[in-house]
Amino acid sequence: MDPAQRIAREILQSADITVNGERPWDLRVHDQRFFGRVLAGGSLALGESYMDGWWDCESLDELVMRILSNDLQQKVKPSLKVFLLWLRSSLINRQRRSRAYNIGVRHYDLGNDLYRLMLDKGMNYSCGYWKRAKNLDDAQLDKLELVCRKIGLGKGMRVLDIGCGWGGFAQHAAERYGCSVVGITVSREQAQLAQERCKGLPVEIRLQDYRDIDERFDRIVSIGMIEHVGVKNYRRYMTTVARCLDPEGVFLLHTIGSNLSGNVGDPWVDRYIFPDGMVPSIRQLSGASEGLFRIEDVHSFGHYYDPTLLAWNRNFTQGWDRIRERYGERFFRMWRYYLLSSAGSFRSRQSQLWQIVLSPVKAAGVYVSIRE
């Protein structure tokens, strides 16, 4: 056994992961170069080698949960590629205005056929609320209702949806609450489909960067978008929201969260799934909002992202034959790794999900938390 294989096996065994074992979370290695590659490249190499077919695992989500729960990533030295990613993120603003539409082109414009296949019927691409729900459609509907209740949505209100996706919230708020909604996105595919879905409703969908908004709204929501803003822009983001929100208004921020403050995302996710993405910490968000907003409520339900991601993976896997020809087998492995490794991250509690309700710092009213 070569040294790389011996070291890798020992590291994995410390998390009760056996190479070529029989349990669902054990790795089945097909290419012996896997061991040296992962020891040299860390999480980036782990994901890339899976995409290349060098290894498989029956339960990827459980494997990743064990890796993260036991901090195995700390036992592998970061590669030069990872260091350069960190250095670049430290020195430059990767989410600057000139790159605002990059994430739209690279991720959200992949194809509406893919997202129709994977998501619920309302096409909500964020964590569902599973407290009472038995299926994905109900979990996403309950999430939208939860958001509407938390911000006290009422008929005739003007609402801004920053990062509106395919129009799920905008359609819901207009149809069920009689609101007029402006939704903004940096994805052309999202904007086109959202406009079609919201036709005939008091909803305006724009292809627009958040920094260019300068209008007044009664309520503002942002569901799963600030993960693309970046730490160098959090203050600008909060300042923009504060400028646009009525003095007695309410802002709800729904975001994936990190336990640690950083300036860069996972290198594999950054390269293949969410370029320039970064998950904020509570400290970063509270610091960015200081002097602008009061934090009225923080609701943590990251454990609900696990069943959400598993439902997306089931939909994707079961419907794969319908889109296989367009995307190819390497994409299938990449996308499956993305969904199931993300589920493992939430299951290990390395990733969080927060709904944060904020009000302008000078607002006179008293906010009453509503979670049911």
Verify that 169 and 296 share a domain, yes or no: yes
Q: How many domains does the chain have?
A: 2
The residue type of 155 is K
Cα 213 from Cα 161, distance rounded (Å)? 11
Per-residue model confidence as pLDDT tens for the chain (372 residues): 688 888 889 989 999 999 999 999 999 999 999 998 888 888 899 999 999 999 999 999 999 999 999 988 776 665 545 444 444 544 456 666 656 677 888 899 999 999 999 999 999 999 999 999 999 999 999 999 999 999 999 999 999 999 999 999 999 999 999 999 999 999 999 999 999 999 999 999 999 999 999 999 999 999 999 999 999 999 999 999 999 999 999 999 999 999 999 887 888 999 999 998 999 999 999 999 999 999 999 999 999 999 999 999 999 999 999 999 999 999 999 999 999 999 999 999 999 999 999 999 988 777 877 776
Instruction: Verify that 120 and 182 share a domain, yes or no.
Output: yes
- Same-domain pairing of 70 and 156: no
Q: Which amino acid is at 191?
A: A
Q: Does 164 map to a domain?
A: yes
Question: Are 43 and 266 within 8 A, CB to CB?
Answer: yes
CA atoms within 13 A on the CB side of 14: 14
Shared domain for 28 and 132, answered yes or no, is no
| Same structural domain, 20 and 147 | no
Q: CATH no. for residue 283?
A: 3.40.50.150
Give the three-class secondary structure for 300: strand
Tokens matching residue 125? 């691409």
Distance CA 284, CA 279 (A): 10
The verdict on 298 and 170 lying in the same domain is: yes
- Identify whether residues 56 and 163 lie together within a single domain: no
Residues 154 and 228 in one domain: yes
Q: Write out the residue range of the structural domain in which residue 223 sits.
A: 105-360
CB 189 within 8 A of CB 217: no
Joined together, the tokens standing for residue 251 give 């802002």
- pTM comes to 0.93
Strands 245-258 and 351-360, how do they pair? Answer: antiparallel
CB 256 within 8 A of CB 343: no
- Tell me the sheet residues that pair with 351: 258
**Farthest CA pair distance, the chain:** 70
| Planar angle of CA 277, 359, 242, nearest 5 degrees | 60
Task: Judge if 265 and 136 occupy the same domain.
Answer: yes
Instruction: Examine residue 82 and state whether it is found in any structural domain, yes or no.
Output: no
**Cα separation of 143 and 129, whole Å?**
5
φ, ψ for residue 105 (rounded to 5)? -65, -45
Same-domain pairing of 294 and 251: yes
Whether residues 237 and 191 share a domain: the answer is yes
Q: How far apart are the first and last CA of the chain?
A: 57
If asked whether residues 22 and 110 sit together in one domain, one would say no
Query: Residue 12 falls within a domain, yes or no?
Result: yes
Q: Is the dihedral of CA 224, 228, 231, 236 positive or negative?
A: negative
Cα–Cα dist 4/9, whole Å: 8
